[in-house]
Amino acid sequence: MSFEKTNRRCFAILIQKMNSHVILGAFSSVILIMISSAMINPSFSQTKDSTVSVYSAGEDTYKQMIDYSRPGKFHQLLADIAGTWTFKGKHFNWVDSVTSTVALEFSGTIVRKPFANGRYFIVDVTSEGTLEMPIQDGKMKEVKFQGVEIEGYDNVKGKFIRTSIGNHLNSGIPVTEGIYDPAKRIITFDSQVEMIPGLKTKEHFQFVLQDNDHYKWEYFNEENGKFRLGTEIIFTRVKEK
């Protein structure tokens, strides 16, 4: 039975039931008019933010869902930097409002792989050095840093998306959204992380696309209302032999 015939049948049943309850009077008439309008013209009841299941979506709506799922030109920006990279980074300590010192230098390898035909990208990070990782029973363990990130572009929101997990600090799975500046070739992410209950840290992260063989990450942390560079990481592509 077609969607239109189903609506007409439901409409007829509704009229019979309402005729048998004339006590509802004028209020029922108003309800009837609203419901019948929605049944005769389904689009009337669907606003811009309406909720619909993929199973009940019409053919045109389902086609739009498919089209909005396709990788596009912004996914290609991430596809262009797929491969293996080495990195060198620095953590900074701020002595005062204008002066900083290098607190720690580190290095490692990063592998960027496309997933789902370029809809997402999985990033594996491994450090050369070691760090202390908190484990159960209040103990610490000396390990290499390992992290996994998932990157992509949300076609509906028109924003880059990124999530990161690792074996150092934080037990959550933060998800951030970023805006791309094509003139500067920079993706800027702003997020807020709650490392301990009640203590929230604001982060400003810049993903700087330099060329096919180089890019960098810049992490800024808020301190007394100002963002200061906390970490800088330089990436260099490993050329295939």
Q: What would the pLDDT profile of 172-221 be if each residue is shown by its tens digit? A: 898 999 999 999 999 999 988 888 999 888 889 999 999 999 999 999 98
Q: What is the pLDDT of residue 168?
A: 85
> Cα angle at 146 between 197 and 202, to 5 degrees?
35
User: What's the whole-model pTM score?
Assistant: 0.74
Using 50, 70 and 90 to split pLDDT, how confident is the model at 40? very low
**H-helix or E-strand spanning residue 172:** none
Average pLDDT estimate for 45-56: 66
Every domain of the chain with CATH number 2.40.128.20 lies at 73-237
Q: What is the pLDDT of residue 129?
A: 86
**H-helix or E-strand spanning residue 224:** none
Q: What is the pLDDT of residue 48?
A: 62
> Cα angle at 88 between 82 and 222, to 5 degrees?
95
Average pLDDT estimate for 98-108: 87
| Buried residues in 175-201 as b, exposed as e (16+ CB within 10 A) | ebebebeeeeebbbbeeeeeeeeeeee
Name the E strands within the chain. Answer: 83-94, 100-115, 120-134, 140-154, 159-166, 175-181, 186-196, 199-211, 214-223, 226-237
Contacts of 92 by beta carbon, 8 Å cutoff, 6+ apart: 100, 101, 102, 103, 228, 229, 230, 231, 232
For residue 111, pLDDT over 90 is answered with yes
What is the rounded CA–CA span in Å between residue 142 and residue 189?
Answer: 31
Residue that the structure tokens 């689009």 belong to = 43
Strand partners, 49: none
Count of Cβ atoms closer than 10 Å to residue 31 Cβ: 13
Average pLDDT estimate for 17-24: 41
Domain 73-237 has CATH 2.40.128.20: yes
